[in-house]
Amino acid sequence: MASNGNPKPAPLVCSQDMNEVQKVFDRFDSNHDGKISPEELSGVLEKLGSGVSPKEVCEIMEDIDTNKDGFINIQEFAGFCKSRDGDSADKELREAFELYDQDRNGLISAAELHLILTRLGEKCSVDDCAGMIKSFDTDGDGNVSFEEFRTMMTAMP
């Protein structure tokens, strides 16, 4: 968490698998120059509806940018993703879940997943999202609960 209590971008990337980390990094790195600028970070967080201020973006950058060059490279991004401890990771997973759970009913529907993925530039249908949900929907209700979300976000290939 940033010092003021707002989420860092880590909820989007808790997977230890480097291929997954690279995919998420590439989504942040919109100009594909191999580094995430404060503007790129702010843009993704804005699309997700997190409403962080420029000052908070600077705090996030300072936390993750270990070589202090003003950008986040893939090694810093991966290190940040992997450095989450149990309590912190759970809290950040909860924050990520809440970004997807637009109606705050404790479940992520296919429509909610579609909305967020579309905001992030993914080309997928609501039916595609229903298929994604089905693979982690252990209770068969057609939605993803927080526990199912945790399983999905921490699944190792």
CB 65 within 8 A of CB 76: yes
Q: What pLDDT, on a 0 to 100 scale, did the predictor assign at position 61?
A: 92
**H or E segment at 25?**
helix 18-28
Residues 121-146 have pLDDT tens digits of 889 999 999 998 998 899 999 999 99
H or E stretch at 73: strand 72-73
Residue % of the chain over a pLDDT of 70: 82
Residues in contact with 39: Cβ distance below 8 Å, sequence separation at least 6, in sequence order: none
The predicted-structure confidence for 1-36, as pLDDT tens digits, reads as follows: 444 444 444 344 444 467 778 888 888 999 999 999
Look at residue 91 and tell me whether its pLDDT is greater than 60: yes
The pLDDT score that the predictor gives to residue 27 is 84
pTM above 0.85, yes or no: no
Burial of residue 9, with CB atoms counted within 10 A of its CB: 0-12 exposed, 13-18 middle, 19 or more buried: buried
Three-state SS for 34? coil
